[in-house]
Amino acid sequence: MTHGFDTLQVHAGARPDPATGARQTPIYQTTAYVFRDADHAAALFNLQEVGYIYSRLTNPTVAALQERVATLEGGAGAVCCSSGHAAQIMALFPLMGPGLNIVASTRAYGGTITQFSQTIKRFGWSCKFVDFDDLGAVEAAIDDNTRAVFCETIANPGGYITDLDAIAAIADKAGLPLIVDNTSATPYLCRPIEHGATLVVHSLTKYMTGNGTVTGGAVVDSGTFDWSASGKFPSLSDPEPAYHGLKFHETFGSLAFTFHSIAIGLRDLGMTMNPQGAHYTLMGIETLSLRMRRHVENAERVAAWLEQHPAIEQVTYAGLPSSPYHDRVAKICPEGAGGLFTVALKGGYESCTKFVDALQIFSHVANLGDARSLVIHSASTTHRQLSEEQQIAAGAAPNVVRISIGIEDPEDLIADLEQALAQAG
C-alpha cells in the first residue's frame, strides 16, 4: 500500500514502541545493547543479522529517522550523520581514494565550496568546479579519475535550479553516480532520485528539522546504481579489507551503499547523529509539507513585493516570472521554488548593514530554513575573507543580502522589510 507524502512524513519509520507501546518514537539514550547470547553477538558483528551493537553505528531513534528520510526521498536506504557537511564526506567516502576527483557545480553552499576546494585535498581527493548550465563543460570535466558528479537541487543562496535530468544523463553516460544536495528543496518540493540521482545528501539542520535546534545530515541511496559494472568502485564491489574481505555489493545488493556507510563509514569516521537530535528531526519532519507550502507562499509574496520596491536593484528568486530559471520550477520542483533568495540593494554595502540592523522580525544569523525569517549580509560575514571579485562570483556581492523566508504572517514580514528599507536609505 502506498501512502501520500503528508501521511508518510508522520508515520514512515515509526511504529509503537514494542516494549511500552509508546506512540511517539522514544529517545533511546543508550550507548550499547545487550546481546541475547554469544552467537547473537557474532551474527551481528558478521552483518548476518541486522540489529543494534553500539550507538556509533546504529540506534533505534536514529534508525526511525533514517527510514523516514529514505521513504520520503524514495530511496532504498539512508544513513544519518552529525551534520550536512558530514553527510557530504560520508557520501564520497565509499567512492573515493587518493588521486580521484569529483565534478561539482560552481553554484553551491559556501561551506561546500571550501570543503571541496580545500579540505578534501588532505585525503588526496580533488574537485573540478564547473558551470552546470554548460552541459558540454560538465561532460568535458569528467575524466578517468572522476568518481562522482555533485550539485544542489535549488542552489543556496537561492535563485538557481539545476536541470537534474540533464546532469543525470551525463553522469549516466559516464557510468558515474550523481550526488544531489537536496537541503534547500526538501523531498516535499523535489525528489532528485525521480530525476536520476544516485545519492541524495541533506543538511537536516535546515528545513527538515525546521526550527533551528539540531545539526544533522543524511545520505539517501537510491539503490539503483550498479557498483560492480565499471570496476571503479572497488570498496563496494571487491573484497573490502576493512571488513574482513566482505563484498558489499554482492552481499547486500541495493543496500550495499547503506551497509558500507554504517559498517565502515560510521564505524571509522564516527560522524554519528545522536538520538536526541534524531528525535527533534523526526518531530520536525512531521510538519514538513505544511511548512514548505507556507515557506513557498510567503517567499513568492515577499519576493514579488521586494521586486517592485524602488530601493531594490534585483531579486533572485526562481519563483518570480522574471527569473531566468522560472521555467525549471515546473519541471524540477513543481510545488514551488523554496523559501530562499537574495536581494541586491541599490544603496550598496552601507545600506545593507543598516538594513540588517534595522530588521526586527528577521534575525541576522548564519542559518537558513528555520520557521522564523532570517537574513545574512554575506559580504560582511561569511564571505568577508574573499575579494570583491570572489564575492560577486559567489553571488555574495557587497550589496547583496540573503533572505530565508519563514512561516510568519506575510503582511508582518513585508511591514518589517518596508521599515528597514526606509531606514537603510
Is residue 278 within 8 Å of 216, Cβ to Cβ? yes
Beta strands 77-81; 217-221: pairing state: antiparallel
**CA atoms of 193 and 221, how far apart (whole Å):** 9
Contact with ligand PLP (CB under 6 A) among 217, 277, 336, 339:
217
Q: Which of 211, 215, 314, 353 forms a contact with ligand PLP (CB under 6 A)?
A: 215
121 — phi, psi (to 5°)?
Answer: -60, -30
Give the residue at shortest CB distance from ligand PLP.
84
Of the listed pieces 17-25, 70-78, 81-89, 253-261, which binds ligand PLP according to CB under 6 A? 81-89
Beta-carbon contacts of residue 229 (< 8 Å; ≥ 6 apart): 175
186 binds ligand PLP (CB under 6 A): no
Q: Which stretch binds ligand PLP (CB under 6 A): 161-169, 201-209, 313-321, 348-356?
A: 201-209
Terminal CA-CA length for the chain: 58
What residue type is 310 in one-letter code? Answer: P
Region binding ligand PLP by CB under 6 A among candidate stretches 8-16, 54-62, 133-141, 180-188: 180-188
For residue 43, the minimal CB distance to ligand PLP (Å) is 35
Cβ atoms within 10 Å of 294's Cβ, excluding its own: 18
Is 212 a binding residue for ligand PLP by CB under 6 A? The answer is: no
Cell of 357: 540592523
Beta-sheet strand order (sheet of 199-203): 77-81, 217-221, 199-203, 178-181, 146-152, 101-105, 126-130
CB of 89 to ligand PLP, least distance (A): 10
Closest approach, Cβ 392 to ligand PLP, in A, equals 20
Residue 181 lies near ligand PLP (rule: CB under 6 A) = yes
Is 283 or 312 the residue whose CB approaches ligand PLP more closely?
283
> Containing H/E element for 222?
none
According to the binding rule CB under 6 A, does residue 281 interact with ligand PLP?
Answer: no
The reply to whether 107 sits near ligand PLP by the rule CB under 6 A is no
Is 83 a binding residue for ligand PLP by CB under 6 A? The answer is yes
Name residue, grid cell 576546494: 117
Among 68, 85, 107, 383, binds ligand PLP (CB under 6 A): 85
Identified binder of ligand PLP from the candidate list 8, 61, 92, 152, rule CB under 6 A:
152
Q: Which is nearer to ligand PLP, 83 or 105 (CB)?
A: 83
Name the residue nearer to ligand PLP (CB basis): 181 or 221.
181
Q: Which of 303, 292, 305 is nearest to 370 (CA)?
A: 292
Nearest CA to 152 out of 201, 224, 218 is that of: 201
Looking at residues 331 to 390 of the shown chain, list those that interact with ligand PLP (rule: CB under 6 A).
Answer: 368
d(CA 164, CA 153): 7
- Least Å distance between CB 336 and ligand PLP? 17
Q: Which of 112, 281, 298, 323 binds ligand PLP (CB under 6 A)?
A: 112
Dist CA 284 CA 277 (whole Å): 11
Binding test (CB under 6 A) with ligand PLP, winner from 28, 93, 109, 252: 109
Q: Which stretch binds ligand PLP (CB under 6 A): 3-11, 203-211, 376-384, 413-421?
A: 203-211
For β-strands 340-345 and 400-404, DSSP reports them as antiparallel
Residue from 68, 206, 260, 295 in contact with ligand PLP (CB under 6 A): 206
- In the complex, minimum distance from the CB of residue 203 to ligand PLP, in angstroms, rounded to a whole number: 3
Number of shown-chain residues binding ligand PLP (CB under 6 A): 17
CB of 269 to ligand PLP, least distance (A): 14
CA nearest 27: which of 55, 68, 67? 55
Minimum distance between the CB of residue 207 and ligand PLP, rounded to whole angstroms? 9
Q: For residue 345, report the phi and psi dihedrals to the nearest 5 degrees.
A: -95, 135
The three cell numbers of residue 78 are 539512508
Nearest to 29 by CA among 283, 278, 276, 284: 276
Measured at the CA of 282, the angle between CA 281 and CA 283, to 5 degrees, comes to: 90
Residues near ligand PLP (CB under 6 A) = 83-85, 109, 111-112, 152, 156, 181, 183-184, 203, 205-206, 215, 217, 368
